[in-house]
Amino acid sequence: MRSPETIQPLGTDYVQKLQQTFIEANNNNSVKTRQAVEKHVETLQKALEAIAENAKIPMQVYDNEGKRIASHEPK
């Protein structure tokens, strides 16, 4: 198996905007907006997994504090 490749993190502004939108949706009881953010994140994760699968390299996603929040091992 290949060693993990270095992949640049998602932009901090992008991550913060997603978090802010989700929090505001929760605070405003906006179910549709919250679901849209959840769907967006799910779609992004599936896309990253597909890239890792096609490239045959492991994928690891970290938050802006360095905590791993998702990973995928190609089959």
What is the pLDDT at residue 6? 53
What residues pair up with 59 in beta bridges, in sequence order? 72
pLDDT digits (tens, 9 = 90+) for 4-51: 555 556 777 888 899 999 999 999 999 999 999 999 989 998 998 999
The yes-or-no verdict on residue 2 having pLDDT over 50 is no
- Coil, strand or helix at 40: helix
pTM value > 0.75:
no
What is the pLDDT at residue 53? 93
Domain boundaries of the chain, sorted by first residue? 12-72
Assess contact for 1 and 54: CB atoms under 8 A: no
Angstrom distance (rounded) from CA 51 to CA 59 = 9
